[in-house]
Structure 1
Amino acid sequence: MSVLKVSNLSKTFGGIRAVTDVNLSIEKGEIIGLIGPNGAGKTTFFNLLTGIYNPTSGEVVYDLNRIISTRDLKPYKITHYGIARTFQNIRLFQNMSVLDNVLMGFHNGLKYGIASALFKLPSYYKTEKNTFEEACVLLDKFNLLDKKDEISKNLSYGDQRRLEIARALAAKPKLLLLDEPAAGMNPKETKELKELITWIREAFELTVIVIEHDMSLVMEICERIFVFDYGILIANGTPEEIQRDERVIKAYLGGEEQC
């Protein structure tokens, strides 16, 4: 069953075509790799999926049971419907604690209203208690519970990446978008990240799309790979098919961009 369908999607910035007529469909439970040279349009594509940009033309449809389009939806609305993401440059609340960062991820699911919060009604305390417990469970799964009171900017780089993913999962998404999660990681951290992404898919019953330059990670964990070049989707297929595709070798795998 498809969880995401993209039809003739394009984005133009002042005459520059960043994404051009992209068509693809993502099935429930897949781990998808998104690769291509720097400037190929990968992050712009993520921004179109998450409502940061509105498409110049075309459409993004997710949660196909309800046929919800991202056009004209704000990012917080898209999160509400089941898409969460991380960013190429880590975007934590640097001066907040590890726990508070994760608690922020739960904000779309809070059930009490303004009156309950102002007057500290029982529903407020119950929801806050349940959210705190859920956050601690999530941090425990990411081996961060013992650091819950630390300021996030003081964490190691690998721990900050894991915290950002944990915060995204607090929104209880159906589709998780990871933008270069292995960037800046050493080989040990990258190996742990591979295991973490595979575990996340199973434990949280998610569909995952990963933008990544580390080909060992992409080829090892992804069932299908989509390749962008100059904003155009030039190929898609299994890791084995992509490695043999002459267009991909010429545009990316045979060049200096490979990491």
Structure 2
Amino acid sequence: MSVIEVNNISMSFGGVKAVSDVRMKIEHGEIVGLIGPNGAGKTTFFNMLTGIYNPTEGEIIYNFDKEIHPSKIKPYEIANSGIARTFQNIRLFSEMTVEENVKVGFHKNISYKFFSSLFRFPSYYNEEENAYNKVTELLKVFNLYEKREELAKNLPYGEQRRLEIARALASNPRILLLDEPAAGMNPNETNELMELIRWIRDKFDITIILIEHDMSLVMAVCSKIYVLDYGKLIAKGSPEEIQKNPEVIKAYLGGES
């Protein structure tokens, strides 16, 4: 069974149709690329997957322990169900430390109650120790442990990108949505990101969907690629199929297909 089913969704803003009649099925453990020219509707699509926008037509279904319909619950409930994302424009807590940013992501996994924290019951210390160990593990994986006490705003751009991914993973997601994770990275950082994305999928046993303009990264890590153009799904298939697809070539390069 697919972990995500997208059934003929559309999204309109006034008279403008940003996404039109998109269908998609994504299996557990896949790394899926969503590509297309600027303004193709990719981020709007992500916003529907996470409940920020409700589709004007169609439906989205997450098949976990039970069916979850993002349009029927609030974004925080979607996050609690196992969906995490990063953003095209980095959204860290800039005045908090690197460690604190990741710990915020871990918050939904902490189960002690108010009185346990107020009176410092053993459950409080056990949960806090567990959170510290998990956060430390993530910081080491993302080569950020030595900078754990620095403010997030003081990190170089590439490290801020890695921190945002680490924070998303701290919520223990089943599905991770990455919105242009390689944006602003140099070639060496992009190569490291390729390996990191594969490692994340295998280590955490999750499904990854990414929006990306760096075609070398998309072609290297994705098993399946969907292509949007002016809000419409114009192609889907393996990297090899997408590279040869005339509609995709036309959308990116212009001219006749």
Give the TM-score normalised by the residue count of structure 1: 0.95
Q: Residues 1-259 of structure 1 correspond to what in structure 2 (within 5 A)?
A: 1-252=1-252, 254-255=253-254
Deviation at 1:19, TM superposition (A): 0.8
**CA deviation profile, 1:187-227 (whole Å, cap 9, x unmatched):** 11111111111111111111111100001111111111000
With over 3 angstroms needed to count, the CA separation of the structure-2 counterparts of 1:181 and 1:255, relative to structure 1, is: farther
Counterpart-to-counterpart distance in 2, 1:191 and 1:61: 33
Structure 2 counterpart SS, 1:176: strand
Q: Deviations over 1:165-194 (max 9, x none)?
A: 000000101110000011111111111111
Structure 1 window deviating more from structure 2 (64-73 vs 105-114): it is: 64-73
SS of the residue 1:71 aligns to: helix
- Which residue identity is paired with 1:56? T
Match of 1:251, SS state, is: helix
Q: Distance between the aligned counterparts of 2:64 and 2:246, measured in 1?
A: 34
RMSD: 1.3
**1:141 & 1:176 partners in 2: Cα distance?**
17
Q: Kindly provide the amino acid, as one letter, of the partner of residue 120 in structure 1.
A: R
Task: Determine helix, strand or coil for the equivalent of 2:219.
Answer: helix
Amino acid of the structure 2 residue aligned with 1:213:
H
Q: Deviations over 1:227-252 (max 9, x none)?
A: 00111111100011111111111012
User: Which letter does structure 2 place at the counterpart of 1:115?
Assistant: F
Query: Do the aligned partners of residues 196 and 255 (structure 1) sit closer, same or farther apart at CA in structure 2, a change above 3 Å counting?
Result: farther
Q: Give 1:114 deviation, angstroms.
A: 1.9
Deviation for aligned residue 1:48: 0.2
65-74 vs 149-158, which moves further: 65-74
Runs of 4+ in 1 over 4 A off after TM superposition: none
1:117 CA displacement? 2.2
User: What is the rounded CA distance, in whole Å, between the counterparts of 1:25 and 1:136 in structure 2?
Assistant: 35
- Return the letter of the residue paired with 1:61: I
Whether the 8 Å CA contact 1:95–1:152 is kept in 2: the answer is: yes
Code of the aligned partner of 1:72? K
CA contact under 8 A between 1:2 and 1:64: conserved in structure 2?
no
Aligned residues: 255
In structure 1, what is the Cα distance between the partners aligned to 2:63 and 2:6? Answer: 12
Give the percent of matched residue pairs that are identical in Structure 1 and Structure 2.
62
Q: CA deviation at 1:121?
A: 2.3
Gaps of 5+ in 1: none
Matched residues in 2 for 1:92 and 1:63: separation?
A: 29
CA positional deviation for 1:23: 0.7
Distance between the aligned counterparts of 1:64 and 1:108, measured in 2? 18
CA–CA distance in structure 2, aligned partners of residues 225 and 255 of structure 1: 20
Cα distance 1:255–1:217, how it changes in 2: closer, same or farther (>3 A)?
farther
Q: Which amino acid aligns with 2:226?
A: F
Deviates more, 1:69-78 or 1:47-56: 69-78
Whole-angstrom distance in 2 between the partners of 1:118 and 1:182: 42
Whole-Å separation in 1 of the counterparts to 2:180 and 2:137: 26
Contact kept, 8 Å, 1:63 with 1:81, in 2: the verdict is: no
